[in-house]
Structure 1
Amino acid sequence: MMIYLSLLLANEPEGGLFDFNATLPLMAIQFLLLMVLLNASFYKPITKVLDDREDYIRNSLTTASENLVKANQLTTKYEQELAEARQLAQTIISQSKKEAQAIVSNNIQNAQKDAEKMVREASQQLNLQKEKALKTLEDQVDILSEQIKNKLLAGQSL
């Protein structure tokens, strides 16, 4: 059987599907050289660009998340300040309303006192004028009575 195999191998033509001669190691060396050249000229720059891009994206995301946290903190702070300012404004408004009401009430009371004082003074003036008018009227009545009496007495003596 061994002889038969050796005869078959000897009869097989060269250049078949798998020739194990010196071209196989040469092809392997060429393949390895092509891999080294492609790695140095193509894969490493592309890998570097991809790594740089990934670093840029990671840094951008980190910066964006930090900025978002800061923005949220500022928003919270400003909302608290706004709430405090609104509360202070409401306090000032209510205090101003109370002060204005007190001033208006005080002015009304002063005006009422002034009006009462003026009414009293006017009443006193009217009473004084009434008394003067009555006294003048009494004086005139006395004078007229005296004249009438004198005329009547003078008319009787004629």
Structure 2
Amino acid sequence: MTVQGLDRLQRKLKRFPMAVEQEIRAAMEASANEIVALMKTLVPVDSGELRESIGWTFGDRPRYSQAIVTAKSPNGNLVLTIYAGNTRVRYAHLVEFGSSPHINGGQFAGTQHPGTAAAPFFFPSFRALRRRAKSRITRAVNKAAKKVAAGG
């Protein structure tokens, strides 16, 4: 028994992972840009440093960043990280979740801190756009499959 076109099918299947990875990468970038843009509009602005510290990267988060969301491609080769904070901005979690009243230590030891109300910006943005990002990635996989099947 022989299968006609087996070699052509094998070549297409060999190209499939690379094509899918390229499409998924583009979909993940578009989704990350969209999520970060929404975060930057929702974050409370005092000096603007927190807003400017919000970003995304492929791979691990930058040092000193906080409030992290990590997304992996289905094959695990692509890891995208959305973060807030940097070496100067280490209070993203306090803005996101707030703080309770407490006695200060350090330079102002013994004084009473009244606490701060939560001003969520990070996780509401992620939750609002998570489904759209997942759909975008699914469409990217389908697009890559159709492109490879058509010989592209």
Q: What TM-score, normalized by structure 1, do the two folds share?
A: 0.24
Q: What TM-score, normalized by structure 2, do the two folds share?
A: 0.25
Looking at secondary structure, tell me which structure has more helix per residue: 1
The structure with more radius of gyration: 1
Looking at secondary structure, tell me which structure has more strand per residue: 2
